[in-house]
Structure 1
């Protein structure tokens, strides 16, 4: 009989290898604080803070190009004032001019419509980029409008305005709230962190004892709960799965959707759980939500109760952004029916790859891992474990049965 607990630990070791290392975390913090200090010396009053995976502790190495692809770390650069103090284009220009004037950053700078990217090389041959989104405080009028619509009014005060590109070098303001989003996540994640913190930190110290003199020296930003690990597992599996699909980049679920769905569903679960207990619970709930593809809202509620993390009412998909009531994270689902269909197909594949595969023989288990996470990532973590004398056959999307075939 397969040793299920051992296999679960092996899957987690793959994700651990793809997580940001303590060395790179320290390097990234040093770099973004240096940018803030430089802006201050340039005469710009601004605050930089992480958003996305770096803020949530759910970083995974990108799968694009190669197994050594750089980490993409996202930051807000919030310049003093509010949206009435500048036009969107002026705000961008303030930050861009400052970065271009620097002998340190000018040569590393890439300019994009939505952000500015600074690329760093790392001693370990895996670099990282810092994507800087210019922002300023949202207006009081807009915040009051958001408050009237919000289910989480305590989050609204941190809303910011960021420049949104509309073509032909024109920009308008849109509302964002990464600090509110992080506060929402941290409050739900807290009991999960507390439940597993000691064991996780002791294991982390064993792996990185050359970097830290004691467990107490490990930054709490490197702690990982069962909730964070489930998000990381799904994010990396998503990347590998959608890379195999024609036009996959255009239809894969954004990380914010995975964060919201997993976190909202996990609120109802016991925080003392293991990673795989929580993963299986989340996947089963998402498989219930897949019934929205075949049933209208009334039929769905009659069968499954008032589940509302995902809704599909009168043909409109909706996933709420808890920190911005005007942001429907599922907007693109309403533009392309392939997106929700593929999403729920992917959920079935995740269940097969990460839950059902635990009962397979070694050969098939290793093949499943290679297909779910990529053979380079699996070999980096596990070496030749579970390999038989016959090399595992990788599934090629052109010839594979569903769900790996063209959708």
Structure 2
């Protein structure tokens, strides 16, 4: 309950979620109406999966990912042309917003490695130019990548269907929008697996706050958690079991580390490990930390709520843990105005994140894949 209550505070607010979805739909509608016939727009990533976690950055910006699929064959276009085609439409959208004197438009448009990014207060919208992958119908896509010569494979729709099947949650709502702009789901309640993924992502963001380049990709954590999840309904049990089994799904193929996309076996979520070995070590170091934390908590069942909350706050943000602690204590009719004593017990007057820096050296405490 402490974990669930703490991670719940990191959910995106209904107001900001609604605002992000409105901007997604407006941009998507512009692309669908002003691009060529057959352009299709749909979301991908944490907004689609329901695993959004508030970033612990100075700006604290969420990101919502938009796939823009053009009905073209790979033989008829280049990656550079595709990227620029979508960028031109987004530029036209910005010009139109300014001409209409509308103040709710994006503040900027930036090209990234695979996408275009529209910046808004509190969040940014990543627009990913793609074409159909005819070798993997009906939902496979090919991505642009300025650093790679070959087209990159992906399948966000298939992945979302797999994840929803794993979490046994498939709620949907329907809204009015352009026929070629798919909706963003609104998750009224999180499944256990969604919460597990949020907890893992939250911890990862804290550990790698000063080392973004080596932070494990969200899609890698989500995939390993989804593969290891066995349908547990109790959140803490689910986290323990997922951590116990998630590294079993890291493969070695022809001397290359491999975690395949469950919806597209040719996409490897650990491809960067083979190019940058330090990123695998970073992942294993993070895994050690959170596995140790959860193991410590499991042995504290009879130690008292304040002791458990204090240990939890050492690995996660203190404020969300404190908020959860106070709410849980109030439910149990317990005193909540504790003081920080010589034992280091949790106190509501102590705020701010408290986390350990990650250090990757020496022997790891768990078996290595």
Query: Is TM-score (shorter-chain normalized) higher than 0.5?
Result: yes
Quote the offset at 1:386 in angstroms: 8.1
Native 8 Å contact 2:74 2:131 kept in 1: yes
Q: Do the aligned partners of residues 229 and 396 (structure 1) sit closer, same or farther apart at CA in structure 2, a change above 3 Å counting?
A: closer
- Please give the residue correspondences for 1:241-320 in structure 2 after superposition, counting only pairs within 5 Å: 241-243=207-209, 248-266=211-229, 269=230, 271=231, 273-286=233-246, 289=247, 309-312=249-252, 315-320=255-260
Q: Give the direction of change, closer, same or farther, for the CA distance of 1:162–1:375 in structure 2 (3 Å limit).
A: same
Aligned to 2:176: none
Partner of 1:357: 297
Task: Output the CA distance in 2 between the equivalents of 1:120 and 1:382.
Answer: 33
Separation in structure 1 between the aligned mates of residue 189 and residue 19 of structure 2, nearest angstrom: 17
How many equivalent pairs are there? 319
Q: Deviations over 1:295-339 (max 9, x none)?
A: xxxxxxxxxxxx5x2224675322121222222222233334443
Cα 1:395–1:43 change in 2 (3 A) is closer
For the Cα contact (< 8 Å) 2:139–2:155, is it kept in 1? yes
What is the match of residue 317 of structure 2? 374
The structure-2 alpha-carbon separation of the partners of 1:395 and 1:189, relative to structure 1 and needing over 3 Å to count, comes to closer
Deviation at 1:28, TM superposition (A): 2.1
Match for residue 48 of structure 1?
Answer: 41
Greater percentage in helix: 1
Query: Residue 161 of structure 1 contacts residue 174 of structure 1 at CA under 8 Å; is this kept in 2?
Result: yes
Q: How has the CA–CA distance of structure 1 residues 107 and 341 changed in structure 2, closer, same or farther, with 3 Å as cutoff?
A: closer
Post-superposition Cα deviations, 1:332-385, rounded to whole Å, max 9, x if no partner, equal 333344433443332332233345236255665444333322234445655695
Say if 1:387 and 1:336 are closer, same or farther in 2 by CA, change over 3 A: farther
Which residue of 1 is the match for residue 109 of structure 2? 109
Q: Which runs of structure 2 are paired with 1:116-195 in the superposition (5 Å)?
A: 116-121=116-121, 127-138=122-133, 140=134, 142-143=135-136, 156-166=137-147, 172-190=150-168, 193=169
Contact in 1 for aligned 2:108/2:118 (Cα 8 Å): yes
Give TM-score, length-normalised by structure 2: 0.75
Answer whether contact 2:41 2:69 (CA < 8 A) is retained. Answer: yes
Asked whether the equivalents of residues 362 and 386 of structure 1 are also in contact (C-alpha less than 8 Å), the reply is no
CA distance in 2, matches of 1:381, 1:25: 22
Distance in structure 2 (CA, Å) of the matches to 1:17 and 1:325: 35
Contact 2:309/2:325, CA 8 A, preserved across alignment: no
Cα 1:252–1:386 change in 2 (3 A) is: farther
- 1:315 and 1:178 map into 2 onto residues whose CA distance is 27
State the shift of 1:387 in Å.
Answer: 5.1
The Cα shift of 1:47 comes to 2.0
| Alpha-carbon distance, 1:82 to partner | 3.0
Q: Is the 8 A contact 1:99 1:106 kept in 2?
A: no
Structure 1 unaligned regions, length at least 5: 1-8, 122-126, 144-155, 198-218, 290-306, 399-403
Distance 1:396 1:39 in 2: 43
> Is 1:22 matched with 2:14?
yes
SS at match of 1:175: strand
SS at match of 1:136: strand
SS in 2 for 1:82: coil
Q: What are the equivalent positions in structure 2 for 1:35-114 lying under 5 Å apart?
A: 35-45=27-37, 46-65=39-58, 69-102=60-93, 103-104=96-97, 105=105, 107-114=107-114
| 1:48 to partner: Cα distance | 1.7
In the alignment, the residues of structure 2 paired with residue 354 and residue 386 of structure 1 have an alpha-carbon distance, to the nearest angstrom, of: 26
Q: TM-score, normalization: structure 1?
A: 0.69
Name structure 2 gaps, 5 residues minimum. 98-104, 172-184, 328-335, 362-369
Is this contact kept in 2: 1:165–1:172, CA < 8 A? no
Q: Which residue of 1 aligns with 2:187?
A: 221
The offset of 1:59, in angstroms, is 0.6
